[in-house]
Structure 1
Amino acid sequence: MNSNQMPHQLFILFRGCARAVLCLAFCLATAHAFAQQVPFASINKAFEQHRNHALQEKLFLHIDRPVYVCGETMWFKVYNVDGTRHQPLDMSKVAYVEVLDAQQKPVLQGKIGLKAGLGNGSFILPATLASGNYTVRAYTNWMKNFSPDFYFEQPVTIINTFQQLDAAAKPTAAAHAVRFFPEGGNLVAGVANKVAFQATEQSSGKGLAFTGILQDQQGDTVAEFSPHKFGIGHFTFTPATGSRYTAVITLPDSSSFKQKLPVAQERGYALQLQETPTGQLKLTVWQQGELGEQLYLLAHTRQAVAFSAAAALNQGAAVFLVDKAALADGITHFTVFNESRQPVCERLYFKSPAQSLQLNLATNKPHYGIREKVTLDLQAQLPTSQQVPANLSLAVYRLDSLQKSIPESIESYLWLTSDLRGTVENPGYYFSEAGATDQEAMDNLMLTHGWSRFAWQDVLAEEPARLQFLPEYNGHRINGRVTLSTTGAPAPRVVTYLASPGKRVRLYNATSDAEGLISFEMKDFFGDRDIVVQSDFTKDSTYHFEIFSPFSDMYGAAKPTSFNISEGLAQALTLRHVQAQVRQAYFGKYINRTVPPAVDSLSFYGQPDEQYLLDDYKRFKVMEEVMREYVPGVQVRRSGGKFRFMVFNRPYKGIFQNNPMVLLDGVPVFDIDKIMAFDPLKVRQLDVITSRFFNGPMVYEGLVSYTTYKGDLAGFELNPKALLQAYEGVQLQREFYAPAYDTPEQRQSRLADLRNLLHWQPNLMVETGKGGQVDFYTSDQQGEYLVVVQGMTESGLPGSQVTTFRVEEPLTRK
């Protein structure tokens, strides 16, 4: 190597080393970034798995009125939707509806059948109920896997006019509650913190009007504040390290009280959300203390991921920019995670729905006389002028001093309150013309009411939580347990039969699992019934059977507000009492009629191979003669002094050697001697299946089914070890009755008509872009009436509307 070559080679060597160093640095940086991204990516994966594992259902009930007296009927329509897309969800076929008293004890319960996510039901309010504020709640069997805070709840008032009302309680010093909510969840020292607050009067739950100042521990004022709406507002201040702060609240009556703020953290994260002029949301996260180098933001709208990104901390702050156009309508939940996948800040943001179902109501007249026909024009529109079906429910009732408020609408529930923690005062305001432009009120609401649908520890858990309750895809499920009667221990692998005596023969079977649990899928099981649960006692009679209540035994934190009726409402109460009694006296025979369910009347085994209507034959007084004389498909034999049946296996031209399944009104009878001792004159029909029969996992060597005249077992004595229990199936639908006044004779009827509820129509089908009409008649009661209609399209767009009309001068009767 000469001297001229040396510098060039050294340069090549140096350049190669530099490349190696740069490559090593790049690899280390990439590895670090990849190491940071891997746990963040796993958050999205865990979130998606949780969403798939724990699909959310939402129920909404349109309840006809807010106030009732005992003896009236409460009507309601059930809407079941996918919790993410808000589209009608045809998963659960049963909704469980309850009326809870002030102590959260159920006083009325019903199982409401659902089809394509819709159903309707009713309760007749008995005279045993005490006057008070109650809660109507609804849920599905699948929803029982999650917090009861997810159940639908709506307050109603029920007044027992048959009982003396308790004297109104003497006014006492009102109990007030003020809570403070730092934006993002943490109050962090040394950083400007937006702090929201909510002040309520505890007995009514209503927001308080007040003025407040924030003082430090030296008594100096650092902020002044007052509510913006419904006792909710916010202020901003920078807490000093080690300082404590106290809010001084002054009420309109000049009384005051103090409330301490949470202690500011010296180390932690603070979050601030701002809207930019360019249509973006700017989320800034400040870190106090050396806690990490990178943060991760995940945004979801009803568990559908809308945005996710990682950002490095720069001088103690990380900034995320989110396009509002990328967010879905409704509540978006922002969560900030640190490098250890721990959520450190959370914030809610509401985006007003861009589309909704527009409903327009108009009566053909603003005023009506008594017993006059009302024609209601209904128009349904979508912003896109699409023509799609919408399923609605409609209620028309009289406004009086007892019921002035309008219950929550389907829009405010689905878009807002169903995903928030706690009670929202007047949720309809946020969807009114005034509330739609009041962004401050909505943002304050987002700051004070946290997300309620899940906890992050459940989402990020290594193993998904075990879900105990199954969706009822095909109908109501009756669940229970089999135990050993001697020890009470679970009895596994026991074949158990459930039957309900009746002319419509149904038989259900289940095998107990390792914990002794059994479950029967009861498709088309309606009304009040008796059920019989048993095993084959000829093989083993040591089992005890128990049937569980299908209603939830978990209750949310919210309770009805205190009940207080003033003396000034005595006249309104008297009128409502008279209305209920007149309705019962004159229309009682019409108001409790039910609609027969559209179910298959065939027995579960279909068309039998042989069928005998015993009245068509010579009637014998002994069952053995019946079987031997004209039932060729069954041979009667005696073995060891006991009867046995041997059914012909006609497809294979043989004879089964084992007893068939023998039923009496659908109830299995395993002891052939008992059926042979039964009086045949009580039997109307005998069916025989002359082949092997499959019923679920069970296989029977033929089937012999006896049906009595009334389908009530006709005095047949069941095995004492069988469980006989009264059970209410899916509720039969009542018919809403209202008199018509089409003719002069009907209008001149002397029967008083003092109906408070003029019309209820739970299934009103319209098509958007087209008009429809609803007709009904006024009663003899003058006053102002409210029309409430709400519902949704098949694509999930909700809508509601109200209007009023008056009934004034009576018609002149000719």
Structure 2
Amino acid sequence: MKKQVYFIILFLVGGFTSKAQYMLKNVEDVKWYNNIAQEKIYVHYNSNLLLAGEELLYKVYCKNAKTDQFTTNSKIAYVELVGEEGVVFKHKIRLESGVGQGHFFIPSTLASKNYKLLAYTRWMRNGDGNHFFSADINIINPYTRINFDDSAPLINIKANKNKKNSNQINLTINKDSLNTRQEVVLTIESLNASKAFGKYSISVKKNDKFLSTIKPDNSLTFTRLFTDSKVSRKRNIGEKVFLPEFEGEMITGKVIEKTSKLPVPNAEVALSILSNEACQDMVLTNSNGVFFFHVKSDYSSSKAMIQALGDNKQNYIVEVFNHQKVNKEMLKFTEFKIHPTFKPAILQRSIYNQIQNAYQNQGVKKNKIITPIYPKPLYGNYMKTYVLDDYKRFPTIAETLIEVVEKAWHERRNGKTRYVEIRGRENDPYFGVNLLPMLIVDGALEENHQRFLGFNAKNVKTISVLRDEYYYGDRVYQGALLVKTFNDNYTNDLEGSFIKKFNLFNPELKTAYFNQLYHNKEDSKRIPDYRTQLLWLPYFYLKKQKDKIRFFTSDNKGTYEISLEGFTNEGVPISITKNFTVN
């Protein structure tokens, strides 16, 4: 039988490789690079056979290839579903202590074919051959014509036997044969004291594997397959490498001189995320004119802007590098055949999916996105906020500062350009005279104070004033002015080659997956329940000798499989399955 999970050599295409990599400049750089262990990724996913209208659910496990412990290096992983026609989806996953999760709704636009599920980190691209995780996913689209093939194999529809990989963990349930809408009590017991404690994911899904000829591999086979180098490929001075995303998302780009097109070293560059959090960061370009930003926290908007700063910025062009593509020509897609015998089963499953999705769209059976705790602007420092509608309105910002906003005004410097000024507190440390405040409008750092002072004040909703000295990198500001317009449109008129506005590649948000309960059956007796996925629990942490999880069966009768995958805190792979029937 063809192995379903394997590691493949993927070559990255496009100009991104030469632009976004870091050049090892000296012996110290090479030593630093060689001392960082390579990583490996395993993905536990709910099924290798999905129909349009169903969800692909997955959990990412990222491990240190040397120690087999969960990685503490990469904070971001990438997951893609790729078909012969191109990329179906590309997700960015935040890793917390080496794990993360995501999901994807299979649309009715996909053809009935074989696809590849890929997972990797930036640091893994430095491995010997770029060993990405890869798994086969078969998708059937019942809303389009399916080419049934009499030569396709007829698979025995008997369920797989219960499987456990060691004496570490035991799975038991209250009954092996249950009725519809009956409670299932799943007991997870450590058989080896605290040695079985670890991070796991649990899937309970109807066993329709007779529709697929592919047998999913698990955390055990994943561990056996990863037999290659546990460190990155050796490099020398002058070679380029991908930097790991140690602190969070990495955003890279380049500053070049407008006329000569040569890279500009030591240019100051600012990143502004145009959100309520007003996230700012400032860095210098390296000797090749390349900049690297690390976004550590969550943000509520995907809109962002990068701009060159300083007196010479009008002579610069700012470029932002896109995430590189995988060369799909290196992927080998298997031929996907379906025997006509299974046509009734596919039709029935499709009907059940449509019923389930109808209720989910009405909010009855819906997953819940977990809203992150977003950081407060300017690190939560106290600001006094003026809601301008509470005061007499003035036509310009300049007048508004004088008449409404206390401790803030504007004045000309050197008899020419006007700047915003903020009066500092008497007990502020003294870092020099003529310090300007940081000016942030709709999340964007604004160096041109005069342009802001001429802005139509009727479009401004609030002005917040921070009087304390504010330190950002090597810069010291005399406070800050944080401005919000009604329509968040101040940046619409910001133009120039030294400014690049773009959309961020947002990480997926955590999700609390729907778990149907029937403690009060009267409330739900008229709502049909044809779930094939009875439970998906991406974050299960075994921290005690015995733990219990409760879920309910559906009206969809048949054989179901409980699958527990993951790793102990010592890195030992655990893979267990247990079957039960619903009558």
**TM-score bucket (shorter structure):** 0.7 to 0.9
**How far is 1:592 from its partner?**
5.3
Confirm or deny: 8 A CA contact 2:305 2:502 kept in the other structure.
yes
Alignment match, 2:125:
144
| Distance change in 2, residues 1:49/1:631 (3 Å) | closer
**How far is 1:410 from its partner?**
0.8
Alignment match, 1:789:
564
Q: Secondary structure at the match of 1:541?
A: helix
Alignment match, 1:182:
none
Alignment match, 2:244:
471
Q: Secondary structure at the match of 2:252?
A: strand
**How far is 1:535 from its partner?**
1.9
For residue 522 of structure 2, the aligned residue among 738, 745, 761 is 745
Alignment match, 1:664:
441
Q: Secondary structure at the match of 2:297?
A: coil
Equivalent-residue separation in structure 1 for 2:568 and 2:329 (angstroms): 30
Alignment match, 2:40:
58
**How far is 1:129 from its partner?**
2.1
For residue 226 of structure 2, the aligned residue among 397, 415, 418 is 418
Equivalent-residue separation in structure 2 for 1:535 and 1:715 (angstroms): 15
Matches for 1:544-563 after TM superposition, within 5 Å: 544-551=317-324, 553=326, 557=330, 559-563=332-336
Equivalent-residue separation in structure 1 for 2:75 and 2:293 (angstroms): 15
Q: CA RMSD in A?
A: 3.0
| Distance change in 2, residues 1:652/1:805 (3 Å) | closer
Alignment match, 2:12:
none
**How far is 1:538 from its partner?**
6.1
**How far is 1:694 from its partner?**
2.1
Alignment match, 1:524:
297
Confirm or deny: 8 A CA contact 1:678 1:716 kept in the other structure.
no
Aligned AA (1:413): F
| Residue 378 (1) aligns with residue 195 (2) | no
Equivalent-residue separation in structure 1 for 2:313 and 2:134 (angstroms): 46
Equivalent-residue separation in structure 1 for 2:480 and 2:486 (angstroms): 20
**How far is 1:76 from its partner?**
0.9
Matches for 1:474-513 after TM superposition, within 5 Å: 474-513=247-286
How many residue pairs match? The answer is 536
Alignment match, 1:646:
421
Q: Could you list the per-position Cα deviations for residues 427-473 of structure 1 after superposition, in whole angstroms to 9, with x for gaps in the alignment? A: xxxxxxxxxxxxxxxxxxxxxxxx46679xx65x7x47845222212
| Distance change in 2, residues 1:614/1:777 (3 Å) | same
Confirm or deny: 8 A CA contact 1:361 1:378 kept in the other structure.
yes
Aligned AA (1:559): K
Confirm or deny: 8 A CA contact 1:646 1:655 kept in the other structure.
no
Matches for 1:630-641 after TM superposition, within 5 Å: 630-638=404-412
Confirm or deny: 8 A CA contact 2:138 2:212 kept in the other structure.
no
Confirm or deny: 8 A CA contact 1:479 1:550 kept in the other structure.
no
| Residue 767 (1) aligns with residue 543 (2) | yes
Q: Could you list the per-position Cα deviations for residues 711-741 of structure 1 after superposition, in whole angstroms to 9, with x for gaps in the alignment? A: x336752224422212222111223113322
| Residue 799 (1) aligns with residue 571 (2) | no
**How far is 1:696 from its partner?**
2.4
Equivalent-residue separation in structure 2 for 1:49 and 1:657 (angstroms): 44
Q: After alignment, is 494-503 or 714-723 more displaced?
A: 714-723
**How far is 1:110 from its partner?**
0.7
Q: Secondary structure at the match of 1:90?
A: coil
Q: Could you list the per-position Cα deviations for residues 235-282 of structure 1 after superposition, in whole angstroms to 9, with x for gaps in the alignment? A: xxxxxxxxxxxxxxxxxxxxxxxxxxxxxxxxxxxxxxxxxxxxxxxx
Give unmatched runs, 5+ long, in structure 1: 1-47, 172-203, 205-354, 420-450, 809-814
Alignment match, 1:96:
78
Aligned AA (1:151): F
Equivalent-residue separation in structure 2 for 1:156 and 1:371 (angstroms): 30
Alignment match, 1:389:
197
| Residue 726 (1) aligns with residue 534 (2) | no
| Residue 591 (1) aligns with residue 366 (2) | yes
**How far is 1:780 from its partner?**
1.5
Matches for 1:177-188 after TM superposition, within 5 Å: none
| Distance change in 2, residues 1:563/1:714 (3 Å) | same
Alignment match, 1:113:
94
| Residue 398 (1) aligns with residue 206 (2) | yes
Aligned AA (1:630): V
Q: Could you list the per-position Cα deviations for residues 26-66 of structure 1 after superposition, in whole angstroms to 9, with x for gaps in the alignment? A: xxxxxxxxxxxxxxxxxxxxxx9799435111111111111
Equivalent-residue separation in structure 2 for 1:784 and 1:573 (angstroms): 16
**How far is 1:687 from its partner?**
2.6
Aligned AA (1:143): M
Equivalent-residue separation in structure 2 for 1:496 and 1:709 (angstroms): 28
Alignment match, 2:347:
574
Matches for 1:1-400 after TM superposition, within 5 Å: 52-102=34-84, 105-147=86-128, 149-166=130-147, 168=149, 358-382=168-192, 385-386=193-194, 389-400=197-208
**How far is 1:128 from its partner?**
2.5
Q: After alignment, is 537-546 or 135-144 more displaced?
A: 537-546
For residue 216 of structure 2, the aligned residue among 407, 421, 439 is 407
Alignment match, 2:21:
none
Equivalent-residue separation in structure 1 for 2:459 and 2:100 (angstroms): 39
TM-score, normalized by length of structure 2? 0.84
| Residue 694 (1) aligns with residue 471 (2) | yes
| Residue 606 (1) aligns with residue 415 (2) | no
Q: Secondary structure at the match of 1:581?
A: helix
Aligned AA (1:789): L
Equivalent-residue separation in structure 2 for 1:491 and 1:484 (angstroms): 6
Q: Could you list the per-position Cα deviations for residues 594-634 of structure 1 after superposition, in whole angstroms to 9, with x for gaps in the alignment? A: 1111343x113431454434344444343222201233332
| Distance change in 2, residues 1:537/1:763 (3 Å) | same
Q: Could you list the per-position Cα deviations for residues 260-315 of structure 1 after superposition, in whole angstroms to 9, with x for gaps in the alignment? A: xxxxxxxxxxxxxxxxxxxxxxxxxxxxxxxxxxxxxxxxxxxxxxxxxxxxxxxx
**How far is 1:573 from its partner?**
2.0
**How far is 1:394 from its partner?**
0.2
Equivalent-residue separation in structure 2 for 1:723 and 1:670 (angstroms): 15
Aligned AA (1:53): N
**How far is 1:67 from its partner?**
1.2
**How far is 1:403 from its partner?**
4.7
Equivalent-residue separation in structure 1 for 2:238 and 2:346 (angstroms): 50
Q: Secondary structure at the match of 2:402?
A: helix
Equivalent-residue separation in structure 2 for 1:795 and 1:670 (angstroms): 51
Percent same amino acid among aligned pairs? 26
Confirm or deny: 8 A CA contact 1:492 1:513 kept in the other structure.
yes
Q: After alignment, is 605-614 or 136-145 more displaced?
A: 605-614
Computing the radius of gyration from Cα coordinates, the structure with the larger value is 1
Q: Secondary structure at the match of 1:491?
A: coil
| Distance change in 2, residues 1:137/1:511 (3 Å) | same
User: Does 1 or 2 have the higher relative contact order (CA < 8 Å, sep 6+)?
Assistant: 2
Equivalent-residue separation in structure 1 for 2:238 and 2:137 (angstroms): 35
| Distance change in 2, residues 1:630/1:554 (3 Å) | same
Q: Secondary structure at the match of 1:151?
A: strand
**How far is 1:102 from its partner?**
3.3
Equivalent-residue separation in structure 1 for 2:429 and 2:174 (angstroms): 72
Aligned AA (2:546): G
| Distance change in 2, residues 1:753/1:744 (3 Å) | closer
Q: Could you list the per-position Cα deviations for residues 342-395 of structure 1 after superposition, in whole angstroms to 9, with x for gaps in the alignment? A: xxxxxxxxxxxxx9672211221111222221111211222xx44663221000
| Distance change in 2, residues 1:125/1:516 (3 Å) | farther
